[in-house]
Amino acid sequence: MGKRATGAFEITAWEEVAYDARPEGPRLARATVRKTFRGELAGESTAEVLLCADDEGGIAYSALERVNGRVGDRAGSFVLLHGAMRGGDMTRAHGRIVPDSGTGELRGLRGEVAIAHDEQGATFTLDYDFA
């Protein structure tokens, strides 16, 4: 990938509904999540997230997220497909821009995203270029 955009994001809304909760084992849930991004990617997003969650906050998730804003000096929107899974001492995460999802000046955007949550907050790294 040719360029890198980094920054932070804040979750501004989280509306979760369990669709399979049992007395034992993790619950399955669906959440609508809204975020605000700051940094070289600036804007807002809405995501639909499928969760496999335990009492510690999660085991796995998969999300489709539409981002509206700016990447560098270009404005438009694009869709991210991202997710993660953890178990034992293993964590695996993935994230990609959905091909052909860019609009406006972001048409042709492609790349990968890494999302991290730690004691400093929520951050992202977007490695991207244009087709």
Token digits of residue 91: 């964590």
Please classify residue 58 by burial: count the beta carbons closer than 10 Å to its beta carbon, then call 0-12 exposed, 13-18 middle and 19+ buried.
middle
pLDDT of res. 57: 63
Tens of pLDDT along 74-130? 999 999 999 999 877 778 889 999 999 999 999 999 999 999 888 878 999 999 999
The domain spans of the chain are 3-130
62 pLDDT more than 70: yes
3 pLDDT more than 90: yes
Tens of pLDDT along 37-58? 999 999 999 999 999 988 776 6
The topology under which CATH files domain 3-130 is: AOC barrel-like (2.40.350)
CA distance 12 to 76: 21
pLDDT of res. 1: 64
